[in-house]
């Protein structure tokens, strides 16, 4: 392999990185490669060594960079077809063109012809079968297989008419969805060379790659869905890339440290997913509101906490189009009533929202919990003792979660916004606070990248085995807790659960029972609170279970939010980002009797 160049992707022992520097380092001999690791916990610094900055990392984590010797052996890159055959063919198979060139053989129907003579040869039936299977592939997942381009060389030919390029179209002509995430791709021309041969391609995933500037001459025809998660591209770069996809309707750009929405996107987009970025204000969404046909917008996991980032002004002069019906603002930092007051104005047509808090019933509870017991009536309704205890315990649990996500130094400022905290702690009990954040030298709060919280996820798997389908009470509840690396995907977690409980592989569902509580409708709550004599003992026994949350609001007013862990190649650490402590996961067989 020739000497690595800036921006080139490398893999060492299965760990991906990007070359950010090539040269000498003061105080040492010989050349070094300054690399930025995809896994930021593997590094030692951010490109600075002994007070001298040699390179800068795109990641905002302080331990993404390292120096390695150019002579260090790296993992061998693969061509697109090599990765395809490794994933989808049981044994390596030479493509028809190269095989015919080397042996003078060709496949015709059920016979093998060599130099004009019909013969039979051991192994050709297997070759023919595997080639037929590859030709029928429609969804191809090659994430993590070190694909570098059409060929296996870092120096690609870029000739769309070459035999190597054309073999892609001949081998797998029906692909409609392609996942090239977490590969060795760095140049858009290498991506285009592959996609150009797939005439039916509609969805392209490039998550986790580190792509350089896009060549303005490239146009990706036919692709309607593009995924650019965790690529660390800026918004301007993402917008420029989207403009090269003339038929694009769906764009996903989650986990890219985005804080600015600085320009417009193509007006063809109807679905936009910007989860787990660094957007802090509603005003930052101005350019997104100019999408005339936008239908779904997901801002889940952003730290949105203000209307205008640079001013206390709460006026906004833009509005999203009436086509926007679905909005997700869950897991943000919305604590201001001023922000909630603006949402109906900015999103006038939204009929489905996953923001929190957003419901009338929860607003009632959060308002009630801030007033002392002297308040007996709210919104013309008499406050019952059950209303007050539900609201106050729920409010206390939210304060505990807020403190868990901050440092000890920030605690006084947080508690200053909750004047009833001490009083509520005396009435009930102190909430559990589990911190996994520290302050760096500048006082900035960060999750320590080498902490257990940053690298492991503790899951408690609850599996109920039913002995009689007609009697849901005849069951045995087994619980197994495990600490799982955040780099595991759902498939690996399910394989672990399958071994733990002796279940058929992927014959069950994993349900995350989150620590968030959604209020039920008032009518349903009133009806649920009216227990008859036969069910009262059962309800009390359920509430007395060892795994019951002492801070959980009464079941008559709230239900626990559940999220299914669907089959995905994405790291579970990305899904549970920001979660602290033990996660309750319910293992549910597809044919299990329903529980109410």
The predicted-structure confidence for 515-550, as pLDDT tens digits, reads as follows: 776 665 544 333 333 334 333 333 333 344 444 444
Model confidence band, residue 351 (pLDDT cutoffs 50, 70, 90): low
Q: What are 291-301's pLDDT values in tens digits? A: 999 999 999 99
CATH number of the domain that residue 59 is part of:
2.30.30.190
Average pLDDT for 558-566: 78
Does a structural domain hold residue 339? yes
Say yes or no: 487 and 584 in one domain.
Answer: yes
Predicted pLDDT at 313 = 75
Predicted pLDDT at 446 = 53
Say yes or no: 275 and 191 in one domain.
Answer: no
Say yes or no: 303 and 376 in one domain.
Answer: no
Predicted pLDDT at 368 = 75
Say yes or no: 127 and 154 in one domain.
Answer: yes
Does a structural domain hold residue 1? no
Domain edge (last residue) among 304, 324, 357: 357
Predicted pLDDT at 451 = 45
Strands 271-273 and 250-252, bridge-based pairing: parallel
Strands 111-114 and 117-119, bridge-based pairing: antiparallel
Does a structural domain hold residue 422? yes
Residues near 445 by Cβ (< 8 Å), separated by ≥ 6?
Answer: 406, 407, 410, 437, 438, 439
Predicted pLDDT at 126 = 61
Say yes or no: 374 and 300 in one domain.
Answer: no
N- to C-terminal Cα separation, the chain? 62
Average pLDDT for 382-406: 82
**pLDDT over 70 at 135, yes or no:** yes
Record the tokens describing residue 374, joined without a space.
């002297």
Phi–psi pair at 558, nearest 5 degrees: -135, 155
- For residues 452 and 262, what is the distance between their CA atoms, to the nearest angstrom? 36
Q: What are 236-262's pLDDT values in tens digits? A: 999 999 999 999 999 999 999 999 999
**pLDDT over 90 at 335, yes or no:** no
Predicted pLDDT at 257 = 96
Predicted pLDDT at 450 = 45
Enter the pTM of the model: 0.59
- For residues 23 and 2, what is the distance between their CA atoms, to the nearest angstrom? 15
Query: Residue 154 in contact with residue 1, Cβ under 8 Å?
Result: yes
Does a structural domain hold residue 217? no
Say yes or no: 459 and 401 in one domain.
Answer: no
- Give kind and range of the element (H or E) at residue 578: none
CATH number of the domain that residue 472 is part of:
3.10.20.90
Does a structural domain hold residue 192? yes
CATH number of the domain that residue 275 is part of:
3.80.10.10
**pLDDT over 80 at 307, yes or no:** yes
Does a structural domain hold residue 477? yes
Predicted pLDDT at 113 = 55
Predicted pLDDT at 474 = 54
Q: What are 212-238's pLDDT values in tens digits? A: 999 888 999 999 999 999 999 999 999
Q: What are 432-454's pLDDT values in tens digits? A: 776 655 555 555 555 544 444 45
Average pLDDT for 353-358: 44
Average pLDDT for 150-168: 88
**CB 7: neighbour CB atoms within 10 A?**
14
Predicted pLDDT at 498 = 87
- For residues 562 and 518, what is the distance between their CA atoms, to the nearest angstrom? 10
Query: Which residue in this structure is represented by tokens 């003992």?
Result: 537
Query: Residue 368 in contact with residue 387, Cβ under 8 Å?
Result: yes
**pLDDT over 50 at 316, yes or no:** yes
Query: Residue 79 in contact with residue 87, Cβ under 8 Å?
Result: no
Say yes or no: 235 and 127 in one domain.
Answer: no
Predicted pLDDT at 538 = 36
Query: Which residue in this structure is represented by tokens 């041969």?
Result: 197
Say yes or no: 31 and 95 in one domain.
Answer: no
* Average pLDDT value over all residues in the chain: 79
Say yes or no: 130 and 189 in one domain.
Answer: yes
**pLDDT over 50 at 325, yes or no:** yes
Does a structural domain hold residue 210? no
**pLDDT over 90 at 68, yes or no:** yes
Nearest to 204 by CA among 222, 230, 187, 231: 222
Nearest to 335 by CA among 267, 259, 401: 401
Say yes or no: 88 and 134 in one domain.
Answer: yes
Say yes or no: 488 and 414 in one domain.
Answer: no
Domain edge (last residue) among 307, 336, 357: 357
State the residue range of the domain holding 383. Answer: 365-429
Ranking 53-67, 187-201, 381-395 by mean pLDDT, the lowest is 381-395
Ranking 47-61, 161-175, 325-339, 352-366 by mean pLDDT, the lowest is 352-366
Q: How many domains does the chain fold into?
A: 5
Does a structural domain hold residue 204? no
Model confidence band, residue 108 (pLDDT cutoffs 50, 70, 90): very low
Domain edge (last residue) among 31, 48, 68: 68
Say yes or no: 92 and 119 in one domain.
Answer: yes
């Amino acid at each position: 392999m020739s000497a690595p160049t800036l921006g080139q992707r490398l893999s060492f022992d299965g760990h991906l990185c990007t070359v950010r520097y090539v040269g000498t380092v003061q105080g040492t001999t010989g050349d070094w490669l300054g690399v930025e690791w995809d896994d930021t916990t593997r590094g030692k610094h951010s490109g600075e060594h002994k007070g001298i900055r040699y390179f800068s990392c795109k990641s905002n984590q302080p331990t993404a960079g390292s120096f390695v010797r150019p002579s260090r052996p790296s993992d061998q890159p693969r061509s697109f077809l090599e990765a395809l055959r490794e994933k989808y063919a049981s044994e390596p198979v030479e493509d028809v063109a190269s095989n015919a060139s080397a042996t003078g053989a060709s496949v015709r129907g059920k016979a093998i012809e060599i130099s004009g003579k019909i013969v039979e040869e051991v192994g050709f039936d297997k070759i023919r079968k595997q080639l037929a299977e590859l030709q029928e592939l429609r969804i191809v997942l090659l994430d993590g297989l070190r694909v570098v381009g059409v060929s296996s060389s870092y120096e690609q030919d870029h000739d769309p008419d070459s035999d190597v390029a054309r073999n892609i179209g001949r081998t797998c002509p029906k692909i409609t969805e392609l996942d090239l995430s977490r590969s060795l791709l760095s140049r858009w021309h290498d991506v285009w060379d592959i996609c150009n041969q797939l005439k039916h391609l509609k969805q392209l995933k490039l998550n986790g790659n580190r792509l350089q500037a896009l060549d303005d001459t490239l146009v990706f025809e036919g692709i309607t869905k593009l995924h650019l998660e965790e690529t660390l591209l800026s918004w301007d770069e993402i917008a420029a890339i989207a403009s090269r996809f003339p038929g694009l309707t769906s764009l996903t750009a989650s986990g890219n440290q985005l804080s600015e929405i600085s320009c417009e996107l193509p007006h063809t987009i109807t679905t936009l997913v910007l989860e787990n970025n660094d957007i802090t204000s509603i005003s930052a969404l101005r350019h997104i509101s100019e999408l005339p046909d936008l239908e779904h917008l997901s801002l889940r996991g952003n730290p949105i906490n203000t209307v205008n980032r640079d001013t206390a002004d709460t006026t906004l002069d833009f509005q999203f189009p009436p086509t926007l019906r679905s909005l997700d603002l869950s897991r943000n930092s919305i604590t201001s009533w001023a922000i909630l007051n603006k949402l109906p104005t900015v999103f006038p047509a939204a009929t489905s929202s996953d923001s929190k808090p957003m419901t009338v019933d929860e607003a009632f509870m959060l308002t009630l919990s801030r007033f002392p017991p002297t308040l007996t009536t709210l919104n013309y309704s008499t406050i019952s003792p059950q209303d007050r205890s539900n609201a106050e315990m729920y409010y206390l649990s939210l304060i505990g979660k807020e403190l868990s996500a901050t440092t000890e130094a920030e605690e006084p400022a947080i508690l200053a916004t909750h004047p009833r905290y001490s009083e509520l702690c005396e009435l009930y009990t102190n909430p559990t606070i589990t911190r996994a954040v520290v302050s760096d030298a500048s006082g900035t709060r960060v999750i320590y990248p080498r902490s257990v919280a940053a690298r492991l996820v503790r899951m408690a798997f609850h599996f109920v085995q039913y002995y009689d389908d007609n009697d849901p009470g005849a069951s045995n509840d087994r619980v197994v807790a495990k600490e799982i690396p955040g780099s595991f995907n759902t498939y690996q977690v399910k394989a672990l659960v399958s071994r733990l409980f002796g279940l058929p592989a992927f014959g069950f569902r994993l349900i995350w029972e989150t620590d968030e509580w959604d209020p039920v409708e008032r009518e349903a709550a009133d009806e649920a609170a009216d227990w008859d004599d036969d069910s009262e003992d059962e309800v009390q026994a359920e509430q007395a279970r060892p795994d019951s949350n002492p801070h959980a609001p009464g079941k008559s007013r709230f239900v626990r939010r559940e999220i299914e862990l669907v089959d995905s190649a994405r790291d579970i650490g990305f899904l549970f980002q920001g979660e602290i402590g033990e996660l309750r996961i319910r293992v549910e067989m597809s044919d299990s009797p329903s529980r109410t």
